[in-house]
């Protein structure tokens, strides 16, 4: 190999190494920004948004917080809700007594940049639409969230009345 050929080969190798390093650094930076893991505080705020939607009195607003393929095992119904229409139907009835949720205890697990689970205990405050009588129900819950097309949605929600302590 001539001196000129060795220099050309060295330049090609150096260019390839620099280009490869630049692309690798650029991909790493883009991935860390686009794929940042949410904080527990950000996941906790998803409940606040759901609770605000619940208090709107509009079942469609609540249902919009659920993925199209979400599963809802609701507090006050034995029916498993597996589509948008069934979820809307549940909240139309659930909202009759003006529910307001309040977390008692929450345990949040951030699984990755696109999924998290919030589980714990909450209390619902209800006001009877006819009598104005107020009552409180304590329940346990699990919300499984996924980030889809940039939006956090509920993909699985289980809520059940808290059983009595032994």
Read off the pLDDT of residues 41-94 as tens digits, 9 standing for 90 and up: 999 999 999 999 999 999 999 999 999 999 999 999 999 999 999 999 999 999
Which pLDDT score is estimated for 22? 34
166 in any annotated domain: no
The H-or-E segment that residue 86 falls in is helix 84-94
Do 75 and 104 share a domain, yes or no?
Answer: yes
Average of per-residue pLDDT values in the chain: 84
Do 76 and 137 share a domain, yes or no?
Answer: yes
- Structural domain span for residue 16: 1-34
Gap between the Cα atoms of 98 and 77, Å rounded: 17
Which pLDDT score is estimated for 34? 59
Do 78 and 9 share a domain, yes or no?
Answer: no
The tokens for 146 are 């996924």
| N-to-C CA span, the chain | 86
Do 64 and 138 share a domain, yes or no?
Answer: yes
Do 2 and 82 share a domain, yes or no?
Answer: no
Do 81 and 6 share a domain, yes or no?
Answer: no
Q: Does 15 score more than 60 pLDDT?
A: no
The tokens for 48 are 């606040």
For residue 74, what is the domain's CATH number? 3.10.450.50
- Number of folded domains that form the chain: 2
């Amino acid at each position: 190999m001539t001196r000129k050929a060795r220099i050309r080969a060295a330049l090609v190798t150096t260019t390839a190494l620099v280009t490869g390093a630049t692309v690798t650094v650029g991909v790493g930076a883009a991935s860390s920004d686009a794929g940042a893991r949410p904080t527990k505080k950000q996941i906790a705020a998803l409940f606040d948004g759901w609770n605000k939607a619940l208090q709107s009195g509009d079942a469609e607003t609540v249902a919009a917080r659920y993925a199209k393929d979400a599963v809802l095992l609701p507090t006050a119904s034995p029916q498993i809700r597996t589509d948008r229409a069934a979820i809307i139907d549940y909240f139309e009835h659930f909202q009759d007594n003006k529910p307001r949720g309040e977390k008692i205890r929450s345990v949040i697990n951030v699984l990755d940049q696109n999924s998290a689970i919030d589980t714990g205990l909450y209390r619902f405050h209800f006001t009877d639409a006819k009598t104005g009588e107020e009552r409180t129900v304590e329940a346990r819950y699990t919300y499984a969230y996924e980030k889809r097309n940039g939006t956090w949605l509920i993909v699985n929600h289980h809520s059940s009345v808290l059983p009595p302590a032994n």
